[in-house]
Amino acid sequence: MAATVLLVRRRAWSSGLIATGRQFSTCRIAEREKNIAVVGGGAAGFYTAARILQKASDTNIDIFEKLPTPHGLVRYGVAPDHPEVKNCMSKFDDVAGSERVRFFGNVQVCGTSDKHQPGFLSLDSLRSVYDGVVLSYGASKDRRLNIPGEDGKILDSGDNNNNRLGVVSARQFVAWYNGLPEAQELELDLESYDKIVVIGHGNVALDCARILLTDVNSLASTDITEQALKKLSGSKIRHVEIVGRRGPLQVSFTTKELREMTKLDNVQVICDRQLLESECQSAAGQAYLQQSRALKRMMDLLLKHSVASEDASKEQKSFKLSFLKSPVEMLFDQKWNENGSEIIVPQLFRFQINRLEGPPESAKAVSTDSFTEIPCAMALRSIGYVSTPLDGAPFDKQRNIVPNIAGRVVDNGVVPGLYVSGWVKRGPVGVIATTMQDAYRTADALVMDINNGHVAGDNMPQSSRSAIDRMLEDAGVAQSRVTNDDWKRLEEFEIEKGRQFGKPREKVTDVQEMLSIIRNSA
């Protein structure tokens, strides 16, 4: 019955969307239907499509996604214990369900063809048949530390389980527990010692820490994969230390995520209270906090809920916020003095101690002559994501974005008909709401150009769904493509399988398996 209610509501919402669209389509120059391609089926792509649908009638949108599954980081990035954040998927479903939208899953734009994808599309071939192309392909790589030992050490014993892993990508760790196919072989060491070090003071670092410290039983009812649950239930990790180059006033996570850390069962929040207090109480710190309500609330939360290392109870698990340290190198199987006795620790992370220079809003970390070491089973790096260039589109290698003005791609002047939205437009920062706003900006620019006759299409009378379909057929993607209906059947399978485990869904984590479920249920 609840499902029926949702369906009724969904239909009402869709018709509302169409109704609102009506008022924006009065001032049109072009008569012909416009065809827009969106490259990337994550939040940026779907929000861009949603806005175009709402603001420009007579526009068809095709969304291209490398994976058979849509929703990008909403599916593979948002933590399993944040189901409410994933509610935006129902809006994406409304978009994908529109008659004017087609989903092309399992189609890579500008990638190399492999066994799942007989064809691939170049950006040029898209631009030859679409009036406009929106690049919303996000940021698929993560930043490395570039320190000795980062890639770990293979032990001579020949036993893979004993390999030292060095510093593993936090992004990969997140992708692993969220079921991203390419991350399922990720090696993790959650057993050889009781501590993990995370480098970076953003929300991804907090997500990793929270998943590692949360009682595994309370994750069992989320959409975390069974494989991840199994691995986590054997975890010996009791302490997670997240390390940043700078101080407490320079953290970039948000209050909600920090608050969650303070509410974890049997976990203490530890930080250098002396530093925290002196930073908050300095004249510059006070002035800075007065300007920023968000930071002020976050520091108050930390002051209220954290304890100093020396006051921490040995009985509880711990989440430690560690400041003013830059990674230097990772050492393996070192001697370590623990509670007066000498042991061998699997990994020893060496840091250089920093001090801060300059005002809090732009404080720089300056190295001192002191060093410190933290023993750990492994480390995770979470110092930001990076977008990669796409053949045929300009790319700013300094900023790692597609250069643009208000979402219009520029390359010595505006490139007609080429747009960009989401992380590849502004860099990989912000929450879903930020990406939504950003995608709307791009869509508004595109719709403005359509209304003013400035999209590429006006010199391109051949753009039509039949020309598009011919091109897709020729490129060999028409056969391997996953449609929205295909995806909904796969999702149905996941939800049904999830029911057996008492979860909202159990994700299929292998592309071949996804494709065969889709084919077999057709």
Partner 1 sequence: MSAVFTRSAALIRPQLQRLRSPHSPFSPASLLAVFGVQSLRLPCASSRLSHHRQTAAAAAFTTSAIRAKNVTVTFIEPDGNEVKATGEEGTNLMELAHENDVDLEGACEGACACSTCHVILPDSIYDSLPEPSDEENDMLDLAFGLTDTSRLGCQVLLSPEMEGMRIKLPSATRNFYVDGAKPSHH
The region of 150-158, 179-187, 400-408, 467-475 touching partner 1 under the rule CB under 8 A is 400-408
Angle at Cα 345 formed by Cα 251 and Cα 314, nearest 5°?
Answer: 65
Cβ–Cβ under 8 Å, residues 155 and 163: yes
CA distances from 239 to 41, 42, 351, 382, 475 (A): 36, 33, 18, 17, 51
* Residues from 276 through 295 that contact partner 1 (CB under 8 A): 293-294
Could you tell me the maximum CA-CA distance found in the chain, to the nearest angstrom? 81
Q: Is 257 annotated as a binding residue?
A: yes
Residues numbered 63-82 forming contacts with partner 1, rule: CB under 8 A? 81-82
Question: Would you give the DSSP letter of residue 214?
Answer: S
Distance of CA 162 to the CA centre of its chain: 30
| CA-to-CA separations, 435 to 43, 82, 348, 383, in angstroms, rounded | 7, 18, 38, 19
Among 184, 227, 255, 316, binds partner 1 (CB under 8 A): 255
Task: Examine residue 55 and tell whether it contacts partner 1 (CB under 8 A).
Answer: yes
Interface mask toward partner 1 for 356-395; x: CB under 8 A = ----------------------------------------
* Residue 251 annotated as lining a ligand binding site: no
Instruction: Write down the least CB distance from residue 201 to partner 1, Å.
Output: 16
Select the residue interacting with partner 1 from 153, 238, 273, 297 (CB under 8 A). 297
Instruction: Point out which span in 10-18, 139-147, 365-373, 469-477 binds partner 1 (CB under 8 A).
Output: 10-18
Other C-beta atoms lying within 10 Å of the C-beta of residue 249:
23
H or E stretch covering 125: helix 123-129
The yes or no reply on residue 94 touching partner 1 (CB under 8 A) is no
Counting residues that bind partner 1 (by CB under 8 A) gives: 48
Categorise residue 147: left if φ over 0, alpha if ψ from -120 to 50, beta otherwise: beta
Stretch that binds partner 1, among 65-73, 88-96, 307-315, 481-489 (CB under 8 A): 88-96
**The binder of partner 1 chosen from 66, 75, 201, 408 (CB under 8 A):** 408
Q: Among 233, 405, 485, 521, which residue sits at the site for partner 1 (rule: CB under 8 A)?
A: 405
Three-class SS state of 503: coil
Q: Can you state the percent helix, strand and coil of the chain, rounding each to 5?
A: 40, 25, 35
What are the residues whose beta carbons fall under 8 Å from the beta carbon of 310, sequence distance 6 or more? none
Q: Helices 255-262 and 203-213: crossing angle, nearest 10°?
A: 20
Q: Is 436 in the site for partner 1 (CB under 8 A)?
A: yes
Beta-bridged to residue 334, according to DSSP, are 345
Q: Residue 272 interacts with partner 1 (CB under 8 A)? A: no
345 marked among binding-site residues: no
| Whether the Cβ atoms of residue 153 and residue 163 lie closer than 8 Å to each other | yes
Per-position DSSP letters for 347-413, written without gaps between them:
EEEEEEEEEEES-GGG-EEEEEEEEEEEEESEEEE-S-EE----TTS--BTTTTB--EETTEEESSS
Among 14, 24, 184, 331, binds partner 1 (CB under 8 A): 24
19 forms part of the interface with partner 1 (CB under 8 A)? yes
Residue 7 contacts partner 1 per CB under 8 A: no
Is 400 annotated in a binding site? The answer is no
The verdict on whether residue 186 carries a ligand-binding annotation is: no
Looking at beta carbons only, is 18 or 186 nearer to partner 1? Answer: 18
Q: Please report, as ranges, the residues that interact with partner 1 according to CB under 8 A.
A: 1-2, 5-6, 8-9, 12-13, 16, 19-20, 23-24, 26-27, 55, 81-85, 87-88, 90-91, 254-256, 259, 293-294, 297, 405-406, 408, 431-434, 436-437, 440-441, 444-445, 448, 451-452
Binding-site positions = 44, 65, 73, 109, 201-204, 245-246, 257, 423, 430-432
Q: Per the annotation, where are the binding residues for NADP(+)?
A: 201-204, 245-246, 257, 430
